[in-house]
Amino acid sequence: MTDPSPSVRVRAGRPTRAQAEARHEQLLDAALDLFLELGFEQATIEMIAAQVGMNRRTVYARYTDKAALFRAAAQRAIERQVVPPETLADLDEGDLAGSLEAVARLRVGQVMTPEGLRLQRIINTESFRFPDILSAYYTQSTKPVIDFVAGLFDRAVSTGSIAPTDTALAAQTFMSMVVSGWVRRIVSGREPTPAEFEKRVQFTVDLLLNGLLPR
């Protein structure tokens, strides 16, 4: 009887770069989900690897320990929340109030996505253990938006639309007033209605700009 193996046996080839990257992204997504569900202490690399059908040795070949995997998963989530400079530029409507309202809609809208909400909850629950992820989120995702808003205030000061002020502090105050409060509410499970959100945004922008009017 002829050995059929030469014609039947098929060797699985090495995954392509794209396939390997897709598997890596699945791993990071699963890791973030499990860290959020169980907490850093309870989640294990074995559990995470099992979620995506991966051998734990494959995970350890890339990440030396659970903390390294956590940081990589959090960093990927942060990168997804970075607003490209061209997107920020598109928010500049020429009108200060309109531009500020557009910034608020963008930032709060990001938090209301599944990815944004997951990241905020991870930061809330694990930043005491990993303060570097909070710092990375601020530096990569929040600060560029604050700098953009400060630039809007700088232009308004130069045209006399608002009184001279510390524009960096004004930008930070704006983000705290119109974004941070909503973020805390959304993370706690109380998502605003569109009408509630628009009313709060317009009220806050009006309040801030009225305080900055030339005297």
- Give me the pLDDT at residue 13, please: 58
* Through-space distance between the first and last CA atoms of the chain, rounded to whole angstroms: 101
Query: What's the pTM?
Result: 0.84
What count of Cα atoms within 13 Å lies in the side-chain half-sphere of residue 134? 10
Domain residues of the chain, as ranges? 15-78, 83-211
Residue type, 10: V
- Give me the pLDDT at residue 120, please: 92
Q: What pLDDT digit, counting tens, does each position of 108-147 carry? A: 999 999 899 999 999 999 999 999 999 999 999 999 999 9
Average pLDDT along the chain: 89
Q: What pLDDT digit, counting tens, does each position of 68-87 carry? A: 999 999 999 999 999 999 99
Triad 108, 111, 113: Cα angle to 5°: 115
83-211 folds as Tetracycline Repressor; domain 2 (1.10.357)
Specify the CATH number of the domain 15-78: 1.10.10.60
